[in-house]
Amino acid sequence: MMLSAKSLFQEIIDNDASYRLFCSIAASGETQGGWENGRIAALVPEGERALAPKIARHGADEDKHGRIFNALLNKRGLRPVRVPPETDYTMLLERHGIGLAHEKLKGDRPLTVEDIVTYLAHSRVTEQRAADQMAMLCAYFADHPEVGRAVRMISDDEDNHLAYTHEELLRLASAGHGPLIRRTLRECALAEIRVHRDVSLAVMAHMGRILGWPRARSAALAAGIHALYAYERLAGWRRMVTLTMPERRDALGGPATAAPEVA
């Protein structure tokens, strides 16, 4: 790519309008994730009660991330903006039938074990994406005076979420749900890489307009996003569906850690 990811994000952070859009999109996705997990925790089936506090913690962490991104906006004296629907990753996944339907989560009927498998498989895939993206931001901006602390904290949480999904899916696989888990993971990963591509293209189109990028630069970025998708479609998706026992066990065992004053 003509443009490094670091200089790209640096440019987005440095400009108020692009930073505002970036933080608004992130805050909205995190908050939706928090709501989904909160509902799932409330509807856990009898046989999986032990999972309820971990799902609730997962939701509390995502809510906290939403607050952190809003606090970052506040700190710069900015208000969140409306998130363009084509950049709404969480909503687009739901619309593609990935994860649990919001209709189901708005109801009060308990979920089934199959629904829990769906939630965990969806999380295995999306938390991989989140963990990878936060690791990338951490590599570049861990010491950034404005966003460093937030980035480090969220990155650590996303690693916990990913570890937890591995551990719980392995537990359910050994309880006989292996075939369903494999099928669901595969479906989820193949849909996620497409949604991620489309959202990336949409976000970059908005950023390009805000930052006045020349046509060649936007074209190079779009080509990079298509190349990443081609790679993920060919081979990369497999990384999102493997299950290995994590080093961090029971990563969501305790209560959520409070967000120290990031703002």
Closest contact distance (angstroms) between CB of 128 and Fe ion is 10
Among 57, 64, 161, 196, binds Fe ion (CB under 5 A): 161
Alpha-carbon gap, residue 99 to 87, rounded angstroms? 18
Cβ nearer to Fe ion, comparing 65 with 196:
65
Among 62, 63, 88, 187, binds Fe ion (CB under 5 A): 62
Please report how many Cα atoms fall inside a 13 Å half-sphere around the Cα of residue 46, on the Cβ side: 0
- Do residues 112 and 43 lie in contact, with contact meaning Cβ atoms separated by under 8 Å? no
Q: What value does the CA radius of gyration of the chain take, rounded to a whole number of Å?
A: 18
Would you give the DSSP letter of residue 257?
A: P
Instruction: Single out the segment in contact with Fe ion by CB under 5 A; choices: 20-28, 34-42, 159-167, 255-263.
Output: 159-167
- Do residues 136 and 5 lie in contact, with contact meaning Cβ atoms separated by under 8 Å? yes
Number of residues that bind Fe ion (CB under 5 A): 7
Closest contact distance (angstroms) between CB of 130 and Fe ion is 5
Q: Tell me: does residue 115 bind Fe ion (CB under 5 A).
A: no
Cβ nearer to Fe ion, comparing 157 with 232:
157
Would you give the DSSP letter of residue 247?
A: S
Alpha-carbon gap, residue 166 to 252, rounded angstroms? 12
Which residue type does 223 have? A
Closest contact distance (angstroms) between CB of 71 and Fe ion is 14
Q: Tell me: does residue 67 bind Fe ion (CB under 5 A).
A: no
Alpha-carbon gap, residue 227 to 240, rounded angstroms? 18
Among 54, 65, 152, 166, binds Fe ion (CB under 5 A): 65
Site string for Fe ion, 23-42 (x = CB under 5 A): -------x------------
- Do residues 45 and 70 lie in contact, with contact meaning Cβ atoms separated by under 8 Å? no
Which residue carries 């952070």 as its tokens?
Answer: 13
Cβ nearer to Fe ion, comparing 129 with 208:
129
Return the residues of window 188-227 that contact Fe ion according to CB under 5 A. none
Residues of this chain that interact with Fe ion (CB under 5 A) are 30, 62, 65, 127, 130, 158, 161
